[in-house]
Amino acid sequence: MKKFVMIVLIAATSILISQDCDHYKAEIDSLMAEFNAIKDKMSDQNITRDEYDDLYSIYTDAWSEIVEKQKEQKKCIESIKKTVKVKVEPKRLNEGLPQIFGVKWGSSRLTAKEKLRNAEGLKISDTDESILEYRNGKHFGYSVNKWQFSFNNKKMYACQIIYSSDPNKNSLKLYEEISCKLIEKYGEPSYNKNTFPSSYKSDKIKLSSIKNGSVTIYNKWLFKNDDVLRIGINENGDVMMTYLVEKLHKK
The values of phi and psi at residue 39, to 5°, are -60, -40
Mean pLDDT of 184-202: 94
- Work out the angle at residue 133's Cα, subtended by the Cα atoms of residues 153 and 228, and round it to the nearest 5 degrees: 60
Q: What is the pLDDT of residue 85?
A: 57
pTM score over 0.95: no
Mean pLDDT of 63-79: 86
**pLDDT exceeds cutoff 80 at 64:** yes
Side chain identity at 75, as an amino acid letter?
A: K
Output the average pLDDT for the chain. 87
**pLDDT exceeds cutoff 60 at 2:** no
DSSP string covering 83-108:
HH----PPPB-SSPPPPBTTBPTT--
- Reduced to 3 states, what is the DSSP secondary structure of residue 197? coil
**pLDDT exceeds cutoff 90 at 127:** no
Side chain identity at 85, as an amino acid letter?
A: K
Q: Are 155 and 142 in contact (CB under 8 A)?
A: no
Percent of the chain with pLDDT over 70: 89
Per DSSP, 144 falls in state E
Pairing verdict, β 218-222 and 228-233:
antiparallel
| Structure confidence at residue 55 as a pLDDT band (50, 70, 90) | confident
DSSP string covering 53-92:
HHHHHHHHHHHHHHHHHHHHHHHHHHHHHHHH----PPPB
Longest CA span, the chain: 107
Greater model confidence, 43 or 207: 207
Q: What is the pLDDT of residue 9?
A: 40
**pLDDT exceeds cutoff 80 at 30:** yes
Q: Are 151 and 173 in contact (CB under 8 A)?
A: no
**pLDDT exceeds cutoff 50 at 245:** yes
The residues pairing with 139 across neighbouring beta strands, listed in sequence order, are 142
**pLDDT exceeds cutoff 70 at 101:** yes
- Cα–Cα distance, 16 to 147 (Å, whole number): 54
| Structure confidence at residue 78 as a pLDDT band (50, 70, 90) | confident
- Work out the angle at residue 212's Cα, subtended by the Cα atoms of residues 208 and 217, and round it to the nearest 5 degrees: 75
Q: What is the pLDDT of residue 202?
A: 94
- Cα–Cα distance, 221 to 26 (Å, whole number): 51
